[in-house]
Amino acid sequence: MKPIPKLKSKIKHLLLPWLDVIAITAWGVLMLKYWATGKLNLLIHPNYFGLVVVAGIALIFIGLAKAKQQWRQRRRRVQVEQNPQHVNLFPPGWGSALLLTAAILGFMITPQVFASQKAIQRGVSDLLGTTRIQPQAFRASVRPEERTLIDWVRTLNVYPEPDSYAGQKAKVQGFVIYPEDLSNEYLFLARFVLTCCAADAYPIGLPVKLTESRQQYPPDTWLEIEGEMTTKELSGKRQLTIVAQSVKKIPQPKNPYSY
């Protein structure tokens, strides 16, 4: 019975170093997979895509280098503890097991787009402070009908009087949410703005006045709305509102976030 613990110890000693190899390589492959499949759009700002790709390639090369190191040790039958001059840059242990587990979950779980419930939890506003909306991204020269939802919000940050936009045409896309205090003839069209990564995403949007029942537009439905701007009093506040003239259901965009 005594040789069994020694056998287990030997197997553990042989497998642990390879845990490092698998964990490092798996994370490199996972990063490149997210980039190649377009799922990286759901996690970080496009400005950081290059960094993720470089990091993914680097991790794969590190994994291969580590694998080569392990094969050399195996052929020479040299144990790490018998070679004090050998320096292991990637010591095995529970850390590698946790990294590998996280990578496996990353392969199994598909990143999801933030939806209406998350927008309500984080608080939707049609007028966000300049600490969140970047002034340099504001485009004053864009024609009203060419403004995106975030363009309208940025415009409101600079010129907050809603009556200034009365009668201007609007054509915007976003997903439907229904805040509790919104009356039945309205819906709220929203999008999430990504500044760095999904952790700091925040929702923006505008109310839409409908000419038909809103029951046919469930929460999270993506719509393209054409109409005119007007001022309505909602929840005791004068707000810029789109009076819908055309409401069309559209598929969720490949890149659902604004920047």
The residues spanned by each domain of the chain are 3-108, 116-249
The token pair at 143 is 């024609």
**142-195 confidence digits (pLDDT tens):** 688 889 998 998 888 888 899 999 999 999 999 999 988 888 899 999 999 888
**Fold (topology level) of 116-249:** OB fold (Dihydrolipoamide Acetyltransferase, E2P) (2.40.50)
8 Å CB contact between 105 and 209: no
Burial tier of 48 (Cβ tally within 10 Å: 0-12, 13-18, 19+): middle
8 Å CB contact between 205 and 222: no
* Residue 21 banded pLDDT, cuts 50, 70, 90: confident
Residue 247 has pLDDT above 60, yes or no: yes
pLDDT more than 90, % of the chain: 33
Residue 200 has pLDDT above 70, yes or no: yes
Separation between Cα atoms, residue 213 and residue 185, nearest integer Å = 7
| Strongest mean pLDDT among 82-96, 114-128, 143-157, 158-172 | 158-172
Residue 221 has pLDDT above 90, yes or no: yes
